Structure 1
Amino acid sequence: MAALIVVIGVAFFFTYTNGFHDSANAIATSVSTRALTPRAALAMAAVMNLAGAFLGSGVAKTVSKGIIETPTGSKGMAILFSALVGAITWNLVTWYFGLPSSSSHALFGGMVGAALAGGIGVVWHGVVDKIIVPMIVSPIVGLVGGFLVMLAILWIFRRANPHRAKRNFRVAQTASAAAMALAHGLQDAQKTMGIVVMALVISGHQTGNGIPIWVKISCATMLSLGTYAGGWRIMRTLGRKIIELDPPQGFAAEATASAVMYTTSFVYAAPISTTHVITSAIMGVGATKRIRAVRWGVAKNIVLGWFITMPAAAIVAAAMFGIVNLLVL
């Protein structure tokens, strides 16, 4: 019982770090264009994250069944604990350096690394189909989609008064930022729900992969609290360092990213990274101004971080399992 409490507690802390690490995904563009004040944006994002967590369960079931084989006994708890520690460590490191990496892929990397260290099978076809392929495809869709949506906006409003159009798009950004935050709750709260369900199954407190209502409420609440705490370092990177956004660009990026996230959640039940999608959408939107308007050096560092996230979290998780195995098991 003690091991279950520890694992669930660490899972909730991971969700909290996920919230403040990824709060920038939903609101950085709205804050940078002054469509919303930082505190108002964070409060809105926290509420919408809470609501989004109750919209579905497909992503949670993918996490609990489709990445690693369900471990058993005390070793199973040690694997989940180590996976979460690996993910939390990477979240804190990237938050410190203001790097918009993926909390989701840190968790997946931690799960794979801990499973391999613990001698548990990895569902490699699930990792490839549900994680690797979406990790590659979703940023490309975000980049191209952001470019095309921004081109459409430029053409539709080509004769509009620029100042009036920007003022109207600031209002529209309230809706697009809310949609982005709702999608973030839909995606990211479910990932921790999947871990908690695995812990309940391993401990014998649950059979099957249904998500108890208290798990939904707890994970959603922790994500919302983390979101309201804010991730200002990453917010500066997304909102200003890639490109200086104006309200139409911010709206285009948020609309594109949220559309991608809803599609992958409801149609494919694939756990994608909100960070990858919104960052690539910002790049695509910025490229419509001119290619050099995007600070590709910053973008390159961000993309490099995406590719090292899973291996880095996996290494930390494997090392942590070794420590737990030596001291406890």
Structure 2
Amino acid sequence: LIGSIIWNLFTWYVAMPSSSSHALVGGIIGAVLVSTGSTGLNFTGIGKIVLSLIASPLLAIFSGFIVMTLLFMLFGRFAPSALNGRFKKMQILSAATMAFSHGSNDAQKSMGIITLALLSGGYISTFEVPEYVKFLCAAAMACGTALGGWRIIRTIGGKIFKLEPISGFAADLNSSIVIFSATLLHLPVSTTHVVSGSIMGVGTAKRIRAVRWGVAQQMLAAWVLTIPCTAVMGALAYQIVLWIF
């Protein structure tokens, strides 16, 4: 957890969206490797998680392109001012759906790690998430979302593609579908990656050059570095805690 928190704060500071899901997985891998060795890792499970984390943004790009294309086909004949006025209100609904799907997938990862720590420490006898863990994770996610800095908001909302109400609606709708589908399939995915992929897909549907691919490349670099960097941070955090206690 310490390794993933440090990475998330660093990427927030440089205004680069990164995956908390990747960070949590990397932190666990690093901590387990230095504590029990490779025998403590379930590489089949890790492979499944990494595959879902990689495939989800690609799927979001493709489905985002389709959703935006369909909206253009259905509403392209209307005046842009009238269209954006209508979709400003509809975007409230799509944003709420997106928020629900976000919580249905992302909060569960933190619950899983905390429950794992409680079980390993002997504080609970079975791997069942206590009610107070559910409440604390939900509250922390709500507060973090509400109080999160404008650095990430500016990058996601304006630097990848200039969003309008209709394109924002399409990105939210598409992201919520992808994320909630993954939740129903019991697959952890990165909300950050899915939303970013949706925005790229929506922007591509309008015009390929409308997407700032330079920013997308920087985000891709951060995505690739997340797991190895947080694994190192998790390993170092474990050694420091071991040394102190």
TM norm structure 1: 0.72
Distance across 1 between alignment mates of 2:55 and 2:121: 36
1:123 match: 42
For residues 36 and 7 of structure 2, what CA distance do their matches in structure 1 show? Answer: 23
**Cα deviations across residues 1-21 of structure 1 (Å, max 9, x unaligned)?**
xxxxxxxxxxxxxxxxxxxxx
Residue 189 of structure 1, CA deviation: 1.4
Q: What letter matches 1:137 in structure 2?
A: A
The aligned amino acid for 1:219 is C
1:199 corresponds to which residue? 117
Runs of 4+ in 1 over 3 A off after TM superposition: none
Partner secondary structure for residue 206 of structure 2:
coil
Matched, 1:296 2:213: yes
* Alignment partners' CA distance in 1, 2:143 and 2:79: 40
Match of 2:107 among 189, 194, 208: 189
- Residue in 1 that maps onto 2:180: 262
Indicate which of 96, 113, 123 corresponds to 1:178: 96
Residue 229 of structure 1 deviates from its aligned partner by: 1.0
Structure 2, unaligned runs of 5 or more: none
The RMSD of aligned alpha carbons is 1.1
How many angstroms apart in 1 are the aligned matches of 2:111 and 2:60?
Answer: 26
Distance in 2, Cα, partners of 1:157 & 1:228: 32
Q: In structure 1, how many angstroms separate the alpha carbons of the residues matched to 2:236 and 2:14?
A: 23
SS in 2 for 1:301: helix
In structure 2, C-alpha distance between the alignment counterparts of 1:298 and 1:122, rounded to whole Å: 34
What whole-Å deviation, never above 9, does each CA across 1:101-124 have from its counterpart, x for those lacking one? 001110110000110011251111
Q: Which residue in 1 is equivalent to 2:64? A: 146
Structure of higher RCO (CA pairs closer than 8 Å, 6+ residues apart): 2
Given that 2:53 and 2:188 are in contact with CA atoms closer than 8 Å, whether structure 1 keeps it comes out as no
Of 143, 148, 173, which residue of structure 2 is paired with 1:230?
Answer: 148
Structure 1 residue aligned with 2:190, among 273, 279, 283? 273
Aligned residue number for residue 26 of structure 2:
109
Q: Is 1:319–2:241 an aligned residue pair?
A: no
CA distance in 1, matches of 2:207, 2:156: 18
Aligned to 1:94: 11
The whole-number CA distance in structure 1 between the counterparts of 2:242 and 2:138 is: 31
Query: How many residue pairs end up in the alignment?
Result: 243
1: CA distance between counterparts of 2:148 and 2:123? 34
Q: Cα offset for 1:156?
A: 0.6
Shift of 1:306: 0.6
Q: After superposition, where does 1:8-23 map in structure 2 within 5 Å? A: none
**Where do 5+ consecutive residues of structure 1 fail to align?**
1-83
Q: CA deviation at 1:93?
A: 0.4
Q: CA deviation at 1:231?
A: 2.4
Q: Which amino acid aligns with 1:200?
A: L
Q: Distance in 2 between matches of 1:159 and 1:327?
A: 67
Query: Per-residue displacement from partner, 1:227-270 (whole Å, max 9, x unpaired)?
Result: 2212210000000111111111111111111100000001x211
Query: Counterpart of 2:2?
Result: 85
Quick check: 2:161–2:212 contact (8 Å CA) kept in 1? yes
Aligned to 1:309: 226
For residues 159 and 304 of structure 1, the distance between their equivalents in structure 2, rounded to whole angstroms, comes to 39
Pair 1:245 & 2:163 matched: yes
Letter of the structure 1 residue corresponding to residue 113 of structure 2: I
Q: Percent identity?
A: 44
Q: How far apart in 1 are the matches of 2:129 and 2:234?
A: 25
